[in-house]
Structure 1
Amino acid sequence: MAPRDDSLQSISIQLDGKNYAYWSYVMKNFLRGKTMWGIVTGDKKKPADEKAANYETLLDSWETDNSKIITWINNSVIQSIGTQLAKYDTIKEVWDHLARLYTQSHFAKQYQLEFDIRALQQNNLSLALTEPDVLKAFRPYIDRREEQRLVQFLMALRSDFEGLRGSILHRT
């Protein structure tokens, strides 16, 4: 009996750029359950000894697993994120790219909070506070206000710009 092809299997959560921590947790456990997490971490390396007796078999198995995981990842991310992944050949490169892009920096956390606050607006009533005159000349406040405006700009970007948004959010 031929082994069952499970390459079309996927997880039920989709990475949208705002839920990386939960998505990566679910995906990591899914891959551990498939005994493939070592390929992602690089612990199970691509066979390199071409003189080994079973080199072709080992290479074929590693490439099959690598491709399955890349497919699972692509099936669990929104399209604008998936198109960024096409430049990578190994799942380790894909995973490292996503971790770099979506591991939350201070600014990314601020973005998420502002996004959540914006979602709390009711009947077109903004939750924004009016700005007292004394604060308009206070440099730390001005810097914070400008950062907040950048966050609001990033929130307004369409999903086509997810790569740009992620890049800006995770700069130090």
Structure 2
Amino acid sequence: MAGQHHSDPAQPITNILDDPNYLRWSSVMKSFLKGRKLWRIVTGDKPAPVKRQDETDYSFADRLEYWDSANHRILTWFTNTYVPSVNMHFNRFDLVKEAWDFLTSRYTFADLAHQYQLLSTFNHLHQESGQSIDEF
């Protein structure tokens, strides 16, 4: 990733998210967004602006448009780095925070289920009599 220059902003990272590589994808995406000062929109620490009492409609509309533009730019980057099977879940999200939270819960759960399955398989393995340790 370091030293690479991406001229197309719609293709920011080369890591494509599909089920087994969520941790790698999320790490690369998080770093990418932090580098563009957009991470706080994802975490919800920088929510959509609320109109201030002393603010003109025009000024507020400007701030809201700026925030919404960033939110949708991130959603587009997400969409461009998913495999189609992941992408179909994302039509319903309008907020990048919701999309990120959904992914986190989905893949954390999937990862735990996968770990359980591996553990279960491992526990059912046993060395047959006469079987060398290498064969086992």
Cα distance in 2 for partners of 1:106, 1:43 equals 28
Counterpart of 2:131 in structure 1 is none
What is the DSSP-based 3-state SS (H/G/I as helix, E as strand, rest coil) of the residue aligned with 1:13?
coil
Question: Are 1:70 and 2:75 counterparts?
Answer: yes
Q: How big is each residue's C-alpha offset from its partner over 1:4-52, in whole Å with a ceiling of 9 and x where there is no partner? A: x964132110110111111100000000011100100011110122652
Q: Any gaps of 5 or more consecutive residues in structure 1?
A: 118-127, 133-172
Unaligned runs of 5+ in 2: 1-6, 129-136
Task: Report how many aligned residue pairs link the two structures.
Answer: 115
Report the CA distance shift for 1:11/1:131 in structure 2 as closer, same or farther (over 3 A): same
* Greater shift in the superposed pair: 70-79 or 48-57: 48-57
Aligned position for 1:47: 49
Preserved contact between residue 7 and residue 68 of structure 1 (Cα < 8 Å): no
Distance 1:47 1:6, change over 3 A: farther
1:116-144 deviation per Cα after TM superposition (whole angstroms, max 9, x unaligned): x9xxxxxxxxxx96898xxxxxxxxxxxx
For the aligned residue pairs, the C-alpha RMSD in angstroms reads: 2.7
Large movers: runs of 4+ above 6 Å: none
* TM-score, normalised via structure 2 length: 0.73
